[in-house]
Structure 1
Amino acid sequence: MAAPTLDEAMKRLEVALGLLEASISRRLDADTRRGGLETELQLMQDDRARLAVELDGALTRLHRFEAATDDVSRRVRQAIGAVETVLAQAGQLVTEEG
């Protein structure tokens, strides 16, 4: 009767080893996926940092552009005012001479 007990023990050991191997395989797969996810997360964080720097630069250029646009607009209004003044004065000269 000792033989069936030994056979049963060997079968249980084989089942246990199979479960252990499957567990190890799942763990290795999970570690590999986690490593891939960590790498992907790091790449996304790097991209985010790069995009933040680019956005800051774009905002700085936008503010400079807005300031330049305001300055040009002011100068154009001044030029229009000067031209209107000259035209008005020229109109008065024509009227006075006429």
Structure 2
Amino acid sequence: MNGPDDSRAATGETAISAALARLTRAVDRLEAAVDRRHDADRSVSGLEAQLQRLGDDRSELAAMLDTAEARAARLEDANREVSRRLVSAMESIRSVLEEHGG
């Protein structure tokens, strides 16, 4: 019963087994590639969300800076006005003291 047909059948089974093994490896590689792509897509989505948050934070910080700069300008104006008034008051006091011999 070990004739030429048996040899061809064994060779055919070996070829099918080898082809099935190659197909299995190819499917495994494809699944791994899909997983990597899925992970990369999630990573990109995460980066986009983080970039959006950074942009929002930047806008908020810019608004806070504008507010702080405006406040600083108002304080500088108030400081100049107070200094002007103090100089005026000191000149008035000096004038009064000179008039009264002080």
TM-score by length of 1: 0.90
After TM superposition, give the deviation of residue 2 of structure 1 in Å.
Answer: 1.4
Number of residue pairs matched by the alignment: 92
Q: Tell me, which stretches of 5 or more residues in structure 1 are unaligned? A: 93-98
State the partner residue of 2:47: 37
1:18 matches 2:11 = no
Q: What is the one-letter code of the residue matched to 2:34? A: I
Q: Secondary structure at the match of 1:91?
A: coil
Residue 70 of structure 1 aligns with an amino acid whose one-letter code is: R
In the alignment, the residues of structure 1 paired with residue 57 and residue 73 of structure 2 have an alpha-carbon distance, to the nearest angstrom, of 24
Query: Cα RMSD (Å) of the superposition?
Result: 0.9
Matches within 5 A, 1:13-92: 13-91=23-101
Moved over 6 A (4+): none
Normalised by the length of structure 2, the TM-score is 0.87
Q: State the alpha-carbon separation in 2 of the partners of residues 16 and 48 from structure 1.
A: 47
